[in-house]
Each structure stands twice: as C-alpha cells, then as structure tokens.
Amino acid sequence: MARVRGLWDRYRSASPVTIALLALVLGLVVGAVIIIATTPEILNAWRGAFHSWGAPGHALKVTFDNVGAAYRSIVTGSIVDPPQFWHSVTTGRGWTASLTPLSETLTYAIPLVIASIAVGITFQTGLFNIGANGQAILGGVAGVAVATLVHLPMVLHLPLTLLAGIAGGVVGGAIPGLLKAYTGAHEVIVTLMFNYVASYFMLFCLLSTPLQLPNQTNAISRTMPGGTQLAPLFGTASGLRVNYGIVVALAVTVFAIWLLDRSSIGFEFRVTGANPHAARASGINARRTLVTSFLISGGLAGLAGVTWVAGTTHYIDQNFLQGSAGIGFTAITVSLLGRNRPIGIVWGSLLFAALEVGGSNMQANTGIPYDLATVIQSAIVIFVATPVLVKEIFRLRTLRAESIKVATAGWGS
C-alpha cells in the first residue's frame, strides 16, 4: 500500500518523464478525436444514435472498434504482433514476420536519433536549426554522389561516403551559421528558406547526368554500390532492414554526450544557450560558438541523411525526405520531446519512429492515412512544450519539468 502511495506521489510531482508519458496519452486522445471526427463510418453511426434504443451503444462500439483498430495496428506494426509472435515461439517459424515491426522501428529510429541530436545541439546553444531537413538532403546527395561516382575498395569507400554526407550537411549548416554570425540574418528564416533551396538543389542534381540513373527522365539517382551500403545487421537473407547504421547512431549518441557534458566547447554551447550575456561576459567567443554549433549540427544532420540512404533505399529520388518523410522536421519534435539531451532523444526517437512505422501499418490495415502520426507527434510536443497545461489537465501537484525555451526570442538579434 505504501508503495502504491509512493508511486502516486511520484506521479503527482511531475518529472519530465511523467510529463512526456502524459503528453503521449494526450496526443493519442487528440489523434482519436481526429479519427472520430473524420471517419464516415463513425459519423454515420452517431447520426443514427438517437433514433432508437441501443443505438448509442452501437455507435460507441463502432467508435471504439475503429479507433481501437487504428491504434492496435500502430502497436502491432511497430513493436510486436502478439499472435504472430506466439506462432513463431511455438512453431519456430516466421521469425522474419515477427521481428519486422521492431526492425522497422529501429531502422527508422537510426537517422532520427542522429538528426534529432543535430537539432538538439543547436537548441542547447540557444539556436533553432529548422534546416536539419535541408542539411540531411544535402548529406544524402553528397553521399550518393561519392558512392556512385568514386571507385574505391569498401574499407575506404563506406567511410568516405559517410564523410561526404557529413561534409554536405556541414555546408548546409555553415550557411545559416556564418550568415547569422557575420550578417545577423535570423537563423529561423534562413534555415526555413534553405530547406526549399536544398530540395530544389537535390532535384537539380538528380536530373543532371552524373547522378541520374541512365535512361531515366525522372529525378532518380543511380544505386549505391554494395561496398558503400550499410549492410543489414542480420544479413540480407534475414529480410530485416535494421542495419549497421545503428552503430553510427550509437556513436553519434556517445559523441553528443561527450560533447555536451565533457568537452569545453559543449560547456560553451550550454552557457551560451542558458544565458548569452553571461557567456559573453565570461569571455566566450559568441560568434565562434554559434558557428561551431551550426557546423556540428549541420554535419550530423547530413550524416543522418546519408545513413538513411546507405542503410535502406540505397538510392534517392525526388521524394527523398519530402513531405511527411522529412526527418528533419520530425527531429525538431523529437529533440523537444527528449529535452535536447542525447539519452532523452534516443527514447524520443524510438517512440516517434514507432509512431511513424506503426502509422504506415495503420494505413495498410485500416486505410487511415499515416499522416495522423505526424499530427499525434506534434500534439505530443505541444503538450511537452507546455508542461503547465499537462499539469492542469491531470491535476498534478508540483511541476519539476520546465518549459522549453530558445534564447532567440526576437528577430533583431
């Protein structure tokens, strides 16, 4: 009993983790409301609900069936499908089908971790890099260019491909960083605009002879040779797409922890982010900090782009990171969800990757478009960014989580 009391008290004094979990609940509620409001079957059931006895019960059942089916397919499509799994355990067969959901979630989480850490580093410096998507696109293009145009043994070629991805992203990060440092251009506007520039630049590259798949009129690149691909962890024969990119993602996480918590430059980032005036007063070179933060962030975003290509599709076409697939935008929400800390970001990436992958499964099973996942993710982040709201909804007593702030409030700085 005392233990239950203890848990209850811990719940009521909301920690950031509690807030995140409650935000997830609220996000799912928002998603359910949207499904109910837009699904003809449910609306029709409710339209007839007040004509006869028992009809409201029927309408409720239809509602629960539809929403339940949607959310069930999110879970079975992203984590595990229990009947299928039980079938594998008892018969020893069908392991590929049983493990595919988890494998897909991990596959999608790999670039998301990297891109979100990229965004998180700028947030920690008090900057807002909304351009991670454009930087990831440049990384992907540069990676594919090196992979398909240069011929080298694999030992050199794969690292060089990844480095090219980083370099592409660095270029993308240097533009807003240098412009802000030397001309004062606001990074929010520059990075937002740069996303569009990067998209068109990618189209331009994909339609030009060196990169374009021969005999094609569409914007599609050649396929990366085997030596530049990040191979599937369990071999191509396993049918599971989770790949050695996971090593890259882990390395980036460790790097980020070291950078932010152990290195002096990371310390400067955090001081600048917490209080730019104090940073300047204590002799931190604001301009250098700003540019470095953007270069590292851009480089990591580029790495995220190339990791995605090298690990999954092995080519890019005009849909690469466009629309809902733009991991750079999801990365912003993940970073906020993980409170810009590497470990938090890893958990956040797993959750949001599961939502994305599960969303696709939901679309396949129930027809409800996977874009709902984006809406749920955004709702979650709105709640996380507004912890006081969550506290009021759930009547929590104290609040240990703080609101998230960027130092770049106005446009003048």
Residue 71 CA to residue 268 CA, distance in Å, equals: 43
Q: Both tokens of residue 132?
A: 């991670």
The answer to whether 221 and 206 are in contact (CB under 8 A) is yes
Residue 176 CA to residue 180 CA, distance in Å, equals: 6
**What secondary structure letter does DSSP report for 406?**
-
- Give the nearer residue to other proteins in terms of CB position, either 256 or 372: 372
Q: Both tokens of residue 251?
A: 């390395």
Q: Both tokens of residue 130?
A: 């909304």
**What secondary structure letter does DSSP report for 261?**
I
The answer to whether 316 and 141 are in contact (CB under 8 A) is yes
Q: How far is the CB of 99 from other proteins (least distance, A)?
A: 28
- Give the nearer residue to other proteins in terms of CB position, either 203 or 257: 203
- Give the nearer residue to other proteins in terms of CB position, either 117 or 368: 368
Q: How far is the CB of 194 from other proteins (least distance, A)?
A: 7
Q: How far is the CB of 166 from other proteins (least distance, A)?
A: 23
Q: How far is the CB of 131 from other proteins (least distance, A)?
A: 11
- Give the nearer residue to other proteins in terms of CB position, either 155 or 409: 409
Contacts with other proteins, residue ranges (CB under 8 A): 34, 38-39, 128, 130, 175, 179, 182-186, 188-190, 192-197, 200-201, 203-204, 207-208, 323-324, 329, 332-333, 336, 367-369, 371-375, 377-379, 381-382, 385-386, 388-389, 403-406, 408-412
Q: How far is the CB of 214 from other proteins (least distance, A)?
A: 19
Look at the alpha carbons of 205, 207, 209, 213 in this order and tell me if their dihedral is positive or negative: positive
The answer to whether 308 and 138 are in contact (CB under 8 A) is no
Q: How far is the CB of 251 from other proteins (least distance, A)?
A: 28
Closest-CA residue to 358 (of 46, 104, 109, 171) = 104
- Give the nearer residue to other proteins in terms of CB position, either 161 or 408: 408
- Give the nearer residue to other proteins in terms of CB position, either 102 or 389: 389
